[in-house]
Amino acid sequence: MSIYRTHNCNELRKEDVGKKVFLSGWINKKRDHGNLLFIDLRDNYGITQCIIDRENSNFSTLEKMQLETVIKVDGEVVDRSEETVNKDIKTGEIEVLIKSFDVLGKCKELPMPIFSDQEYSEEIRLKYRFLDLRRKKIHENIILRSKVISFIRNEMNKLGFLEYQTPILTSSSPEGARDFLVPSRLNPGKFYALPQAPQQFKQLIMVSGFDKYFQIAPCFRDEDARADRSPGEFYQLDLEMSFVEQEDVFNVVEKLLVNTFKNFSKKKLVKEKFPRIPYKESMLKYGTDKPDLRNPLIINDITDVFLRDDIKFDIFKNLVKSGCKVRCIITKDTKNKPRSFFDGIDKWAKEQGTSGMAYFTFDKDKEVFGKGPVGKFFSKEAIEELMVKTGANIGDSIFFACNKEKDLEVITALARNKIAQDLDLIDENIFAFCWVIDYPMFEKDKETKKIKFSHNPFSMPQGDLDKLDFGKPLDILAYQYDIVCNGIELSSGAIRNHIPDLMYKLFSVAGYNKNQVDQKFSGMINALNYGAPPHGGIAPGLDRIVMLLANEKNIREVTMFPMNQNAQDLMMNAPSDIGEDQLKELGISLKLKK
């Protein structure tokens, strides 16, 4: 038996009345009645009310104890009268009559209260993270995270995957995010990089013949933070399989995610077979490659209609002639919405730095007409064509904007969210998953205008490999796929290119010659020459999965010891200065910008 406790703080029940017990934990709350003192004793498992009165010689010292002091209570379990039962806690039918107590850990005056639903500044929470983590909500989030991880490990094992570790100190790679670098003492002037993902290693594991790999893998990227993106480090459920096609990966991952989400959340999954949306279609219908399918609104391209002569909306017509497109969103049955709703959307769109959203409502007297400020520019026939094209009915409204395709995608995607919010169309109690598939292999860099890999340079191109047209690289699609849930990108993956010659060709399109490829990806390109199996995989972001399950908007709420937005650990004081001697040993001198 432990010298500290016979039971934890969530264990004692009516049946235990009369038992002599030890409990240890934190003083969560005191209620001092002068001659009678209630103490809520808290540990990881729950809360037990302990009680002592003035008759006991320990009363006055216990009365003075700071909250959050760790004590051991020696007492007896006693029954509570019916009126004093607390139904909110599992131990609420009993209490522990304190005989004596010991202080196990003293506590200074607290910089932040533990027992409170208040919000606190991020700064103080992160500096005193060990206190913050005692609070109920985040304590439960972290436990949830642990349970999700162990559930996933178990599921992966059941699916025949084995977990392997890959190096943390590895080489810098030219594609992708900024690397975190680690100087090498034994190789002065040279640097390791922390892996942005175990991408090459997991492919090497396949070449090594292990068939099915997974890992709860730490990934390091030196990029700026967001609410759903930790600076520095995050975790992926990294997985890879040999002798598979896209479909095989989909089957495994759908099974895993459906089981996980069903097991840990009460929210309903809209579809257990995730819909598949080609990248191009997603950009058109949702304006983004991470569509929130809880939102029923869909974007339509109506550029053609603006070629008609009986539309007098000259601003848009002229833009269309110069190559712009027109896209719209139809809202169902919004005829009677107040003017403020429509103008609100337009005003909001202008605030987003666009030319705004035009709108009218499909209405009918003797014949159909457009009701609203710009309705008069559209003939009866033009309106009828719009209704056919968009599936709109009398009483529905149309919001539309005109711009170059890329800008138009951005604004219509934002408008789709905004309108859905205003009309309260998004069901918060569901998970809507989808696959986004058929990503283009390459894209044009906005600034340099050069061709670059749009996602993963190791992806396998689609189609007949002998007939790929490298003269039109932007038309080449890849076996590259993302999983999106409620508008959040959960993971991306691909069937990999395991054919060295093809790899060289694709890299040459992106501006790397054979030597550069050999040098930068030596381990992998070399391995592919010695009998590589066809393989593919994916890497769902673990932190984001837990965020969705815990219903949190910020990744720090599901991370035990996160850094702040400037990638500083306020509790441990990282990063920190280092001594001259350490620098000298590494052959490094600092030239800091002022």
User: Which one of 453, 479, 481, 507 is in contact with RNA (CB under 7 A)?
Assistant: 453
Taking the least distance from each CB to RNA, the nearer of 124 and 374 is 124
CB 37 within 8 A of CB 62: yes
Q: Which of residues 413-452 bind RNA (CB under 7 A)?
A: 446, 452
Shortest distance (Å) from residue 574 CB to RNA: 12
Q: What is the C-alpha separation between 424 and 416, in angstroms, rounded? A: 12
Q: Which of residues 155-174 bind RNA (CB under 7 A)?
A: 173
| Torsion sign across C-alpha atoms 351, 352, 353, 355 | negative
SS3 118: coil
Interaction between residue 511 and RNA (CB under 7 A): no
User: Which one of 61, 66, 513, 522 is in contact with RNA (CB under 7 A)?
Assistant: 66
SS3 591: coil
Taking the least distance from each CB to RNA, the nearer of 89 and 476 is 89
Buried b (16+ CB within 10 A) or exposed e, 534-548: bbbbbbbbbbbbbbb
Q: Give the position of tokens 């030596």.
A: 522
Residues in the chain: 594
User: Which one of 17, 67, 159, 216 is in contact with RNA (CB under 7 A)?
Assistant: 67
The overall longest dimension of the chain from CA atoms, in Å, is 97
Instruction: Find residue 483's DSSP bridge partners.
Output: 435, 491
Q: Which of residues 97-126 bind RNA (CB under 7 A)?
A: 109-113, 116, 118-124, 126
User: Which one of 18, 34, 531, 579 is in contact with RNA (CB under 7 A)?
Assistant: 34
Interaction between residue 29 and RNA (CB under 7 A): yes
CB 464 within 8 A of CB 477: no
Shortest distance (Å) from residue 452 CB to RNA: 7
- Identify each DSSP E strand in 345-487 by its residue range: 358-364, 368-371, 397-403, 430-431, 433-437, 442-444, 451-453, 480-485
CB 362 within 8 A of CB 290: no
Q: What is the C-alpha separation between 215 and 259, in angstroms, rounded? A: 18
Q: Which of residues 346-365 bind RNA (CB under 7 A)?
A: none
Q: Which of residues 125-154 bind RNA (CB under 7 A)?
A: 126
Q: Which of residues 197-216 bind RNA (CB under 7 A)?
A: 197, 199
Q: Number of residues in contact with RNA, rule: CB under 7 A?
A: 72
User: Which one of 72, 229, 332, 514 is in contact with RNA (CB under 7 A)?
Assistant: 229
The distance from CA 524 to its chain's CA centroid, rounded to whole angstroms, is: 29
**Of 191-199, 315-323, 358-366, 374-382, which segment contacts RNA by CB under 7 A?**
191-199
Shortest distance (Å) from residue 318 CB to RNA: 28
User: Which one of 15, 140, 223, 381 is in contact with RNA (CB under 7 A)?
Assistant: 223
User: Which one of 16, 95, 385, 409 is in contact with RNA (CB under 7 A)?
Assistant: 95
Interaction between residue 380 and RNA (CB under 7 A): no
Shortest distance (Å) from residue 32 CB to RNA: 5
User: Which one of 1, 33, 466, 592 is in contact with RNA (CB under 7 A)?
Assistant: 33
Taking the least distance from each CB to RNA, the nearer of 67 and 430 is 67
Shortest distance (Å) from residue 228 CB to RNA: 6
Taking the least distance from each CB to RNA, the nearer of 123 and 304 is 123
Residue 65 is classified by DSSP as P
Q: Could you give the residue ranges of the DSSP H alpha helices within 352-499?
A: 380-390, 405-422
User: Which one of 25, 291, 457, 536 is in contact with RNA (CB under 7 A)?
Assistant: 457
Interaction between residue 298 and RNA (CB under 7 A): no
User: Which one of 22, 26, 40, 242 is in contact with RNA (CB under 7 A)?
Assistant: 40
Which two tokens mark 141?
Answer: 């989030």
Interaction between residue 568 and RNA (CB under 7 A): yes
Which two tokens mark 351?
Answer: 């605030």
Buried b (16+ CB within 10 A) or exposed e, 563-583: bbeebbbbbeeeeeeeeeeee
How distant, in Å, are the alpha carbons of 241, 280, 332 from that of 401? Answer: 44, 19, 18
Interaction between residue 583 and RNA (CB under 7 A): no
Interaction between residue 46 and RNA (CB under 7 A): no
Interaction between residue 477 and RNA (CB under 7 A): no
Interaction between residue 31 and RNA (CB under 7 A): yes
Q: Give the position of tokens 């992806």.
A: 459
Taking the least distance from each CB to RNA, the nearer of 80 and 389 is 80
**Of 271-279, 312-320, 376-384, 558-566, which segment contacts RNA by CB under 7 A?**
558-566
CB 319 within 8 A of CB 303: no
CA angle (355 as vertex; 349, 361 as ends), nearest 5: 65
DSSP 223-236: ---BTTB-SEEEEE
User: Which one of 46, 176, 372, 533 is in contact with RNA (CB under 7 A)?
Assistant: 176
Q: Which of residues 75-94 bind RNA (CB under 7 A)?
A: 80-81, 83-86, 88-89, 92
